[in-house]
Structure formats: structure tokens, C-alpha cells
Amino acid sequence: MERSLTMELVRVTEAAALASARWMGRGKKDEADDAATSAMRDVFDTIPMKGTVVIGEGEMDEAPMLYIGEKLGNGYGPRVDVAVDPLEGTNIVAQGTWNALSVLAVADHSKLLHAPDMYMEKLAVGPEAVGSVDINASVEENLKAVAKAKNKDVEDVVAIVLNRKRHEGLIEEIRQAGARIKLISDGDVAAAINTAFDHTGVDILFGSGGAPEGVLAAAALKCLGGEIQGKLLPENTEQEERCMKMGIDNIHKVLHMDDFCGGDDAIFAATGVTDGELLRGVQFKGVHATTQTIVMRAKSGTVRFIDGDHSLKKKPNLVIKP
């Protein structure tokens, strides 16, 4: 991939964040998602690349744009796989709460997992704990391993978990082990990324969430030197057949970083839509708006935080009509 592509992709997540942020707190998650998706696609068409969506908004007959298999870019430049979540946290935006992001990842052709849209058990940690955890080990064992790797007591470890009924047993195990918990309503891509930044206060991600989001989190953690492990959780024969159709022969296999995101390069970009521990959300200030974006590349190890100031004078598409 070309170095210049990194900064070009920032424009994509910025546009999606600006469009969807107009819907914050309005209770309309579908409208927010549609706004982000439309804005993201418009900018993608100007990017110098030959991209194919491998993680998108759905199949071609289910999604009007950014569907799996769709071609992105202007047809020039590197051939790449693209994973997108125009609005990671549709409910978050609808409710006006924390950690909604516009997210994308790009890797060399055929290097991103074609993850089916189903649940996946995930375990994620930052660089200090790489090689210390095992998704097949007990919760207590993994908490102790992270505590040892980060030179702290288990009582000081913070596990982040989606607040779902299916996680009641997991939450109790974490509490019994003596660790602390940060429960989140949505947004486990942001949660996984936060394990790699000390100032977020998050040490480890546990629990099940969407498999496509696992690929996006893996691309980010690859750039950051972190680790993610996953196990697909098909719920019926139809979902098992979908795994096979997407090239996953062993649905019981533990997926590691190279399964999620192979090769030695990947680019990840995320722009805050609402405020979070890592990124500020979009703020509208009359005739201009501000954004904050993180963009990183695995090959160079570069991580950039970019503050954007955007004129709204020529962006009528960002105005919601009653």
C-alpha cells in the first residue's frame, strides 16, 4: 500500500462522522447510519485505490451501498481489502452517549478475514500483555496474566465488557476474581482499541460481539502492537453454512491476529462521532465543525491523532431537513 493512502482515508471517516453527528440524541439510529454510509461512500470514490469491501453494511441485496463485494476507489493505486463501519454505535448516537466512531480498515488484497455477520467471542489486550492471554483459559487466569504483564494487582485490572444478559456469568467471574469492570452499552471496537492506550484505564476486553467488528478491532490492534483472539459463535445450521461460504472451513478454530488481518501492513482510521475516552466527538460551532481522528499504519508503526476544522458553508448535505 502507498504511504499517501493513510492520510487520504482520514477524509473518509471525517465525512461519515460529520454526517452522522447531526443525528446525535435524536433517537433515530437508522437515519444516523444512512447519513454516515452515504458520506463515506461519496469520499471513497475519490480515493486513489482499487478497493473491495470485505466487511460492510451487508450483502448487495440488503444494503444500498458499501455492501460486501462492492468496489471502492477511483480505480487507480493499490489493490486492497476494505472493512468499514460507517457508524460503530448507532444506538450510541441515537441516545447521545459515549464512544460512537466512524471506522475503516484497509489491508493488502486477500489479507482481511471475511467475517460473517454473527457473534464472536473476543479477547483483546494491549502491547504489554501480548502473548500472556489465552481465550481458552479461564477468566481468572487471563486476569492474573494481564496483571502480571502490566505489573499491577488483579484488583487494579479493568476489564471492559458489553452490558448484555448473555454476559451475566462472565461479569460474575470477573468480579469473583477481584478485578474491576467497565460496562458499555455498545461499541466494542472502541473498547478493544482502548486496551492499547494506558490513559483510557482499560486493560482487557472480554465477551461476545459482532464478528465483523472483530476484524476492525484486529486491524487497529495490529497497528498498535496489541493482540486479539476470537471464536465464531454460529447459532444455527444456516450460520454455519454461511461461514463455509465465506471460506471459513473450521468454525471452531481459535482466530489469532494473522487470521483476522494477515501480512505486514494495515491502515486503520477512526473519527469520533460522540465523545469517548480516546477521541472527542464532532462539535458544531456555527459555520464550522471540529473532529478528532486517529489514523495508524502497521508497517511503519505510526499513530497520529488529527484535529480537523471543517467549513460547513458548502456542505448542505449535513443539514437535517425537518
List residues forming the annotated binding site: 33, 57, 85, 88-90, 119, 164-166, 186-188, 210, 213
Beta bridge partners of 207: 122
| SS3 label, residue 199 | helix
Beta strands 227-232; 119-125: pairing state: antiparallel
* Pairwise CA distance, residues 195 & 302, whole Å: 18
Please provide the size of the chain in residues. Answer: 322
Kind plus residue range of the DSSP H or E element containing 180: strand 180-184
Can you tell me which residue has the cell 444500498?
Answer: 64
| SS3 label, residue 230 | strand
Tally the C-alpha atoms within 13 A of residue 53's C-alpha that lie toward its C-beta.
27
How large is the C-alpha radius of gyration of the chain? 19
Binding residues for substrate: 88-90, 119, 164-166, 186-188, 210
- Determine contact, residues 298/313, Cβ cutoff 8 Å: no
* Pairwise CA distance, residues 149 & 146, whole Å: 5
| SS3 label, residue 317 | helix
Cell numbers that stand for 136 in this block: 481458552
Binding residues for Mn(2+): 33, 57, 85, 88, 213
Helices (H), 80-181: 90-95, 139-149, 168-177
Tally the C-alpha atoms within 13 A of residue 205's C-alpha that lie toward its C-beta.
34
* Pairwise CA distance, residues 61 & 193, whole Å: 32
